[in-house]
């Protein structure tokens, strides 16, 4: 954390207003040990200090960068955590993201230009420009991929023939109940 600053105490509603988070979210962060307020009133109300707000900023930045809450908690609780170094690293990551976003916007503008120029007869548009800004990870298919349902491609490849045989068997079994015969491609 930062060296101790002269800190004031913030009520949970003030922290919610400052950060844009809901009170419920702040209560959840407290419950899971991610952002435990420094102080409590005698009645048990949460009071946050400036160090807590600095920690909350780290939480929000790391969430924006795609980290899970448990990973964030672990890294912030690590005694070797250096807030200045973390902020510098995060700044660099966000600058890279901004450059990438700018490149993507240029690609979108190029696509809009294609649309606008194809409506005129003398269009000579460089179609490569509509793909500038896409990282290699978007342009290639990974060796293995996971479907939206969470199924790994390796398990799909091994079960495709078995699934085809199963579907063919179901078609045969229920063929009399179909009004129109279904499309029945040959089973490999």
Q: At 30, which CATH number? A: 1.10.1660.10
Instruction: Show the domain range for 132.
Output: 92-139
Per residue in 92-144, pLDDT (tens digit) is 999 999 999 999 998 888 888 888 876 666 656 677 777 777 776 665 666 65
- Domain end, chosen from 77, 105, 121, is at 77
Output the 3-class SS for 113-166: HHHHHHCCCCCCCCHHHHHCCCCHHHHCCCCCCECCCCCEHHHHHHHHHHHHHH
123 belongs to a structural domain = yes
Same domain, 115 and 158: no
**Domains of the chain: total:** 3
Per residue in 3-44, pLDDT (tens digit) is 455 679 999 999 999 999 999 999 999 999 999 999 999 999
């Amino acid at each position: 954390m930062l060296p101790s600053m002269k800190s004031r105490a913030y009520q949970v509603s003030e922290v919610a207003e400052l950060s844009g988070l809901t009170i419920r979210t702040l209560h959840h962060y407290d419950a899971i040990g991610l952002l435990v307020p420094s102080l409590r009133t005698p009645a048990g109300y949460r009071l946050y200090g400036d160090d807590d707000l600095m920690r909350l900023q780290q939480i929000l930045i790391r969430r924006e960068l795609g980290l899970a809450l448990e990973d964030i908690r672990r890294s912030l609780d690590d005694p070797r955590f250096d807030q200045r170094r973390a902020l510098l690293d995060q700044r660099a990551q966000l600058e890279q993201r901004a450059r990438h976003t700018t490149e993507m916007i240029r690609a979108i503008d190029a696509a809009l230009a294609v649309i606008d120029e194809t409506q005129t007869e003398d269009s000579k548009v460089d179609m490569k420009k509509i793909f500038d800004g896409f990282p290699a990870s978007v342009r290639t298919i990974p060796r293995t991929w996971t479907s939206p349902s969470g199924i790994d491609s390796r398990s799909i490849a091994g079960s495709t023939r078995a699934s085809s045989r199963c579907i063919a068997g179901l078609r045969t079994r229920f063929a009399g109940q179909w009004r129109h015969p279904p499309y029945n491609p040959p089973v490999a």
